[in-house]
A = this chain, B = another copy of it.
Amino acid sequence: MNKNKTKPTIRDVANKAGVSISTVSRVMNAPASVVENKRQRVLAAIEELSYQPNAFARGLIYKKSFTLGLLIPDIENMYYAGMIRGMQDACNKLGYSLMICNTDRDKERMISYIDAFHEKQVDGIVFASDKMFPEYYEKLVGCRIPFVMVSSHSDEYDIPCVEVDDEAAAYDAAAYLIELGHRQIGMIGFNHENSISGPPRYEGFVRAMTEYGLTSNIANVKFASHYFEHAYQAAHELFTDHPQLTAVFCVADEFAMGTISYLRDRHILVPGQVSVVGFDNHRMAGMYIPKLTTISQPIYDLGHRAAEKLHELLTTGSVMVPREVLQHKLIVRESSRERATTI
C-alpha cells in the first residue's frame, strides 16, 4: 500500500502503468477502447495505489456532482428516518450521494443550507414537508437548482411533488371512528400556521363529520405543534373542554402517543373508554402500548419516489406526473375499538 500522504492522481497511475493519462482516463470511461494488455496494467496500478478519480476535477468538467440535497424539518421525528432510507436506496441505485440537512423549521438555517447546497453544486434538492415560502422559492430558482417536494406541495408554484392525500386519509380515519359507533369525536391537529398537511387533515375530519351528520364534533378540535409534549397539553385542553369524547383522531403518531399518555395519567383507558387513532405508522406505532391504530403512509416509498422524480427532472428536464399521490392505508391495531354500548 502506498504510504504517501497525498492522494494519487491520474498522473501517478499513468506513470506506474507506463501509459499516458488519457489512457488511464479511457480505462475508466471507455474501457473497450484500450488494448487488453495496457488496460490490465492500468487496472493494476489503480488497485495498487487505491486510486479514486477526484470528484472535484470531474465535477468541473461534467458540471455535475452526482449529489442530491435533502432538506428536512426535524431529523428526530421518526417519520423522516424511513423517508431518508427510501431516498438513500434510490440514490444508490441511481449513482447519487445524498446530503441531508436538518432545518429545525428555521428560515435562516434553511437559507444557509440552500447556499451550502449551491456552493457544493448539488444537482438537485428534495424539499421535505415544509411550506414553500416565497423566500425559499426565489432562492432556489435563483440558484438554478432543480427541486421537488415530498410530503408537501405548493399551490402558488408549479413544483413536482410526491405526497399522500391528506384530506382523504384524515377522512378515512375519522370515518373509521364513526363506523365504530363513536359519536363524540375529537381531533388533535397541526397548527395551521405554516403547516402543509395541517389544513387538509382538518378538512378531511370536517368532511367526515359533515357527511355523517355529526357537525357538532367540528368544535372538538385542538391544535399542537409537532411534539409529544404539545399533544399531551392539547389532549388536556381537549378533554377539559369536552370530557364526553369517546374517540380522538390525531394527525401524527407522536400526537397519538401524547394523547394516550395524557389519558393514562387521567386513568382513562385506551381503548376501553377512549379510542385513539394516529397518523404516519412509523416504526414506533407498532411498539407502543397500546399498539397504535393509525393511517399508514408509504414513508419509504415517498422518499424513494421523491429521489426518482428528482432524477427524472434532472435527466429529462421535466416530470411526467407533476403531482404524484401515493396510497395511504388504515392500520387497525389496539388503540381503537367499538364504542362501549350504553346499557
Chain A residues within 8 Å of B, Cβ to Cβ: 1-2, 5-7, 50, 52-57, 59-60, 63, 65, 67, 75-76, 78, 81-82, 84-85, 88, 97-102, 115-116, 118-121, 138, 141-144, 228, 254, 257-258, 260-261, 264, 283-284, 286-289
Contact = CB atoms under 8 A, between A and B. Distances in A.
Given A287-B254, A289-B288, A50 B143 contact: yes
B99 A97 contact: yes
A53 B102 contact: no
Contacts of A59: 56
Contact of A57 (B50, B60, B138, B288): B60
A264 B260 CA distance: 16
Contact of A97 (B5, B84, B120): B120
Nearest to A51: B118
Looking at A5, A257, A258, A287, the one whose CB has the most chain B CB atoms below 10 A away is A287
A8 to B, nearest CB: 9
A255 B150 CA distance: 32
A264 B289 contact: yes
B52 A115 contact: yes
Nearest to A89: B102
B289 A289 contact: yes
Given A1-B141, A50-B144, A258-B287, 10 more contacts: A6-B144, A7-B144, A54-B60, A56-B57, A75-B81, A75-B88, A84-B100, A99-B100, A100-B100, A257-B287
Contact of A118 (B52, B102, B118, B286): B52
A59 B260 CA distance: 52
A258 B287 CA distance: 7
8 contacts: A6-B144, A55-B56, A56-B57, A75-B85, A76-B283, A84-B100, A264-B289, A288-B289
Contacts of A116: 97
B102 A138 contact: no
A97 B100 CA distance: 9
Nearest to A1: B142
B52 A119 contact: yes
Contact of A5 (B75, B143, B144): B144
A121 B260 contact: no
A99 B98 contact: yes
A100 B101 CA distance: 10
B99 A287 contact: no
